[in-house]
C-alpha cells in the first residue's frame, strides 16, 4: 500500500478509504502474506486519481475506474467529454522540468515567473495541489526565508511563489466547478436540492496562514468538495461566524492556526451542534469539545474533511 500511495501521490489512508467505500483495493492474496495490488488494480487507481484531479467527485471517479479496461492506456480512455475539452484547452508543455524546492526558489529569485508557474503546474498534474504545496512550494518558501539578502525594487521571490500557488489553486477549483456544471458530478441517492450547498467547507485563517487555507481549499476541490476561505480578521466575532455558516449552509468549519477570537468562535459553533470543526496546525487552541477535531497537516485536513463530506 505504501508503494502504491507514493506512486499516486496520495496518503495511504486515502487508499484504505477507496478500498472500503468503492472496492478499489488490492485483489491478489497469497496464503500467509498481505494482500497485494496487481497491475490492473494500480491502473484503476491511476484512473481514479486522474479523474479526481480533474475535479470529478470521488464516487463518480470510482464508478468510471471500475468500469474501465485496465489494458487501455490512460490517455486513450473515453473520459467525459467536458474533461477532454478542458484538457485540450490547457497549454501543452512537452519538456518536463527539474522540479524540486531548490530549483523553485532559484527560479523565484531570478525572478522567472513563467518557469515558477510551469514547475507548480507540473507538480500539480503529477501529485495534486496539496502535495505540490507540502513537498515543493512550502520548502522553497522556507529556503527563501532563511536567506540573507536584499531584493531589487519590485522583486519579491516569496510573492512570485505565492502567486503561482494561488493560480494553481484557482485552476484546480475552476476545473472542479466546470465538472460539476457539466454534470460530471452526479447527485447521490437521497441528495436533495441543497446537496451541493451542504458539501461546503469554510476555511478560516488570518493573513499569515491564508495561503495554506487556499491550498487546503484546492485539495478539497480535487475531492469534489466546495470550499470558501474566510478572512479571520473580518469575521467580527462568533455571531458573524454563525451567520456566515448559516448563509453558506456549511457542514464544516476549519480554522487554520490560532487567529484572534478562535476560542469564542469554536465554542459557539460546537454549541450549535450540527457543524464539524477542524483545528489545523501545531499552534491550534487546545480545545476539547463536541464535534471539534484536531489535524496537523494540510493533507490530513483534506482527507478527513473530504471523508466526512462523503459519508
Mean of the pLDDT values across residues 225-236? 89
Report the pLDDT value the prediction gives residue 85, as an integer from 0 to 100: 42
Q: What is the mean pLDDT of the chain?
A: 81
Cα separation of 200 and 180, whole Å? Answer: 14
Report the pLDDT value the prediction gives residue 31, as an integer from 0 to 100: 60
Mean of the pLDDT values across residues 19-29? 83
Is the Cα torsion angle 230, 235, 239, 244 positive or negative in sign?
Answer: negative
Which residues touch 224 (CB under 8 Å, ≥6 apart)? Answer: 52, 55, 56, 57, 58, 60, 176, 180, 185, 199, 306, 309
Report the pLDDT value the prediction gives residue 110, as an integer from 0 to 100: 87
pTM of this prediction? 0.68
Candidates 243, 218, 195; CA nearest to 133 is 218
Which residues partner with 202 through β-bridges? 228, 253
* Greater model confidence, 51 or 141: 141
Residue 203 φ then ψ, to 5°: -115, 115
DSSP string, the chain: -HHHHHHHTS-HHHHHHHHHHH--S--EE-TTS-EE--HHHHHHHHHHHHHHHTT--HHHHHHHHHHS-TTS-GGGS---HHHHHHHHHSPP--SPPP--HHHHHHHHHTT-HHHHHHHHHHHHHHH-HHHHIIIIIHHHHHHHHH------TT--HHHHHHHHHHHHHHHHHHHHHHHHHTT-SPPPTT--TTHHHHTEEEEEE-GGGHHHHHHHHHHHHHTT-EEEEEEGGGS-SHHHHHHHHHHHT-SEEEEES--TTHHHHHHHHHHHSS-EEEEESTTS-----TTEEEE-SHHHHHHHHHHHHH-
Mean of the pLDDT values across residues 176-200? 53
> Is the confidence at residue 239, as pLDDT, over 80?
yes
Q: Per-residue confidence at 79, pLDDT binned at 50, 70, 90? A: very low
Tell me the per-residue pLDDT of 85-114, one tens digit each, with 9 for 90 and over: 444 444 444 467 888 999 999 999 888 999
Cα separation of 194 and 81, whole Å? Answer: 26
Cα separation of 168 and 190, whole Å? Answer: 34
Cα separation of 293 and 280, whole Å? Answer: 9
> Is the confidence at residue 197, as pLDDT, over 80?
no
> Is the confidence at residue 75, as pLDDT, over 70?
no
Range name among 6-20, 193-207, 224-238 with the lowest pLDDT average: 193-207
> Is the confidence at residue 195, as pLDDT, over 60?
no
Amino acid at each position: 500500500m505504501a508503494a502504491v500511495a507514493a506512486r499516486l501521490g496520495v496518503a495511504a489512508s486515502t487508499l484504505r478509504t477507496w478500498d472500503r467505500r468503492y472496492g478499489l483495493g488490492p485483489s491478489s492474496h497469497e496464503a500467509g502474506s498481505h494482500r497485494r495490488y496487481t497491475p490492473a488494480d494500480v491502473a484503476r487507481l491511476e484512473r481514479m486519481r486522474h479523474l479526481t484531479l480533474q475535479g470529478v467527485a470521488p464516487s463518480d471517479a470510482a464508478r468510471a475506474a471500475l468500469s474501465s479496461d485496465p489494458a487501455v492506456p490512460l490517455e486513450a480512455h473515453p473520459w467525459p467529454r467536458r474533461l477532454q475539452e478542458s484538457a485540450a484547452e490547457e497549454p501543452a508543455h512537452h519538456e518536463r522540468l527539474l522540479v524540486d524546492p531548490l530549483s523553485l526558489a532559484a527560479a523565484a529569485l531570478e525572478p522567472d515567473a513563467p518557469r515558477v508557474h510551469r514547475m507548480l503546474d507540473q507538480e500539480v498534474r503529477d501529485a495534486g495541489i496539496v502535495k505540490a504545496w507540502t513537498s515543493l512550494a512550502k520548502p522553497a518558501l522556507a529556503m527563501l526565508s532563511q536567506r540573507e539578502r536584499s531584493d531589487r525594487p519590485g522583486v519579491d521571490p516569496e510573492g512570485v511563489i505565492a502567486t503561482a500557488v494561488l493560480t494553481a489553486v484557482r485552476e484546480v477549483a475552476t476545473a472542479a466547478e466546470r465538472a460539476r456544471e457539466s454534470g460530471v458530478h452526479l447527485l447521490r441517492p437521497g441528495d436533495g436540492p441543497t446537496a451541493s450547498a451542504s458539501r461546503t467547507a469554510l476555511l478560516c485563517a488570518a493573513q499569515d496562514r491564508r495561503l495554506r487555507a487556499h491550498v487546503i481549499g484546492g485539495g478539497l476541490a480535487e475531492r469534489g468538495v466546495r470550499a470558501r476561505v474566510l478572512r479571520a480578521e473580518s469575521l467580527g466575532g462568533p455571531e458573524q461566524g454563525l451567520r456566515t455558516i448559516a448563509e453558506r449552509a456549511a457542514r464544516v468549519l476549519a480554522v487554520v492556526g490560532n487567529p484572534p477570537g478562535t476560542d469564542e468562535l469554536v465554542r459557539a459553533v460546537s454549541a450549535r451542534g450540527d457543524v464539524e470543526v477542524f483545528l489545523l496546525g501545531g499552534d491550534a487552541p487546545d480545545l476539547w469539545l463536541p464535534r471539534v477535531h484536531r489535524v496537523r497537516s494540510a493533507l490530513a485536513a483534506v482527507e478527513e474533511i473530504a471523508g466526512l463530506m462523503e459519508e
